[in-house]
Amino acid sequence: MDQLRDLAVGVGVVVGSAFAVWLWLKRTTGAQRAGFAANGVGLDGSAADTIFDTTEEGALDVAAIRWNSKLASDNLNYKAKLSDMNAGIAKASAIPAFLSPVIGGLAQMSSSFS
Write the pLDDT tens digit of every residue in 33-82. Answer: 787 777 776 666 676 777 777 788 888 888 899 999 999 999 999 999 99
Q: What is the pTM of this model?
A: 0.48
- What does the pLDDT read at residue 1? 47
Residue 40 Rama label (left phi>0; alpha psi -120 to 50; beta)? left
pLDDT of residue 45: 66
**Mean pLDDT taken over the chain:** 78
Q: Which pLDDT belongs to residue 22?
A: 76
**CA–CA distance from 103 to each of 82, 91, 92, 94, 107 (Å)?**
32, 19, 18, 14, 6
Measured at the alpha carbon of residue 57, what is the angle toward residues 56 and 61, in degrees to the nearest 5?
120
Instruction: Fill in the amino acid letter for 15.
Output: V
Residue 54 CA to residue 31 CA, distance in Å, equals: 11
- For 9-30, b where at least 16 C-beta lie within 10 A, e where not — what string? eebeebeebbeebbeebeeebe
The single-letter code of the amino acid at 110 is: S
Q: Which amino acid is at 114?
A: S
Label residue 85 by pLDDT band (50, 70, 90).
Answer: very high
- For the segment 75-95, the average pLDDT, to the nearest whole number, is 92
Q: Give 93 or 22, the one with higher predicted confidence.
A: 93
Half-sphere exposure of 81 (CA within 13 A, CB side): 6
